[in-house]
Amino acid sequence: MQHFRHENLSHDPIHGYIRFTSSVGIPEGEVAEQQIIDHPWVQRLRQIHQLQTAWWVYPTAEHTRFQHVLGAMHLASMAVSRLYPSLREVCPDVPSPGYVETLTRMAALLHDVGHGPFGHFFDQHFLADYGLTHETLGCHIILHELGDLLRRVRRNPNGQLEAHETLDPGQVALLIQRPTASNTEAIPRWLQLLRSLFSGLYTVDNMDFVLRDAYMSGYTLRAFDLERLLHYSFFSPKGLTVHERGLSTLVRFISVRADLFRTVYFHRTVRSIDLSLAEVFAASKEHLFPGNPLERLDDYLEFTEWSLLVRVAEWARSSNPALRDLGLRWRDILNRKIRWKMACERVVFFDPDDPEPTSVFSDERLFEAAIRARLPRELKDLPLRFDPPRHVHRPGTLAPASGQNFLYDPATEQIRSLEDHELFRQIPVSSRICRIYALDHRYNRELARAMDELLGASRADDATNM
């Protein structure tokens, strides 16, 4: 009977029942997972869409960051249940199973707590002005707004911390950050390994959003075999390792994730909306939020897509002419009047030997200059927008998440690099969907011709440099 008092369930269309500890009947002084879930900083994520602006294109994709972080927390338990025995073999000094599971669950639940309206768009178009990302802002929130509560979380639905253990908010914050030289030194090996569940090839974050976004957008009901991928995963001395029997499932996961970027996240109309949003957002920033979020956390707590969209909808009736003009521009976005039309599109793939950083497609300004140089004289000043969004299919050798995932070869009983396997080598390192947008479709043919000329010249340069 006590078991039912101490646990609650949330039903999820992706994972079924998600379990979390209840605040009813817990020992005095402890904090239940329910209290973290119900905290305003986490409940705020109900008001931020998971899919940035894609919900304006995919009518059923109305899910939020809140649903996603609950799913990620659930996957953290699934992953630790499978991986803890091998983690202890590699790292005998690892804390108890209850500590590791609670730690990863809280990191998964809080990994998006720093997000602002429109998710990653807000990172690029607002937080970057202050040298912030949603991750650095999230770490601050975890340490300074939620730290005292996290230290008193002592159990999860499957176990509890040992008497001498106290959950460390600093370790929660560390797990949600991308690895860098400065934040990797002097941390325990077991914690370094756990980080691959948050920043490697397949993580509790991206495994949930691939399943969830694919389902909610209508792309597919079951994007990849989650159970098989986890079943064939373990920690080796080198890092998170997949048995060769699970490699095809990992490749399937990477392929579906890439396809979601092409068909959903980077959909031509989604990116067109982003172009218009970027234009009006740049002129609106000073009216939307009063400065550095780190210095105004109380205001940031209340700043969500709901509050933003309600505010900008009112501007069209403002007595201030400048604000009224911005309001009319926002009204077009709210009414889904799409200004920029895609004229042409080409996809460029980069393999390990391709020099992407020096490619003309790696920089929007270089891309624009190269296209305009190939247009007829009368079209060189045509109003256009150039959009080459990038997707990383697998980390390159210099990427932050590189060196965290490995392959077990049962034939040789050795741990190898994933790149040694031909099935993995067929996956490109990255790709760019290179698009040109115009105000109408009158010059599609000329723009496509310039794009193809540029692609031909780029491939010829690559061949010369080989």
Model confidence over 38-62: pLDDT tens digits? 999 999 999 999 999 999 999 999 9
In 10 A of CB 268, how many CB atoms? Answer: 15
Share the mean pLDDT of the chain.
93
Confidence of residue 425 (pLDDT cuts 50, 70, 90): confident
Strands 240-243 and 405-409: parallel
Report which residue type is found at 15: H
Confidence of residue 458 (pLDDT cuts 50, 70, 90): low
pLDDT the model gives residue 37: 98
Structure tokens at 112: 């998006």
Minimum mean pLDDT among 55-59, 146-150, 226-230, 401-405: which range?
A: 401-405
Predicted confidence (pLDDT) at residue 187 exceeds the cutoff of 50: yes
pLDDT the model gives residue 398: 47
Predicted confidence (pLDDT) at residue 23 exceeds the cutoff of 70: yes
Burial 433-449 (b: 16+ CB within 10 A, else e): bbbbbbeeeebeebbee
The continuous run of DSSP H or E covering 436 comes out as strand 430-438
Contacts 24+ apart (CB under 8 A), 409-417: 409/244, 410/243, 410/244, 410/245, 415/236, 415/237, 415/238, 415/241
Q: Say how far apart CA 454 and CA 458 lie, in whole Å.
A: 6
Q: Is the Cα dihedral 82, 238, 391, 255 positive or negative? A: negative
Query: Can you list the alpha helix ranges (DSSP code H) found in 151-296?
Result: 169-175, 189-199, 204-217, 226-231, 244-260, 268-288
Query: Once rounded to an integer, what is the mean pLDDT over residues 58-76?
Result: 97
In 10 A of CB 463, how many CB atoms? Answer: 8
Closest Cα partner for 166 from 181, 154, 182? 154
Single pTM value for the model? 0.94
- Specify burial of residue 464 (Cβ count, 10 A radius: 0-12, 13-18, 19+): exposed
Q: Say how far apart CA 313 and CA 161 lie, in whole Å.
A: 49
Tens-digit pLDDT profile for residues 222-237:
899 999 999 999 999 9
Tens-digit pLDDT profile for residues 34-44:
999 999 999 99
For residue 240, what is the DSSP state? E
Q: Which residues contact 44 (CB under 8 A, 6 or more apart)?
A: 301, 304
3-state helix, strand, coil in the chain (%, to 5): 55, 15, 35
Q: Say how far apart CA 315 and CA 324 lie, in whole Å.
A: 5
Are 14 and 212 contacting, i.e. CB atoms less than 8 angstroms apart? yes
In 10 A of CB 97, how many CB atoms? Answer: 20
Give the three-state DSSP class for 11: strand
Closest Cα partner for 50 from 181, 251, 210? 210
For residue 254, what is the DSSP state? H
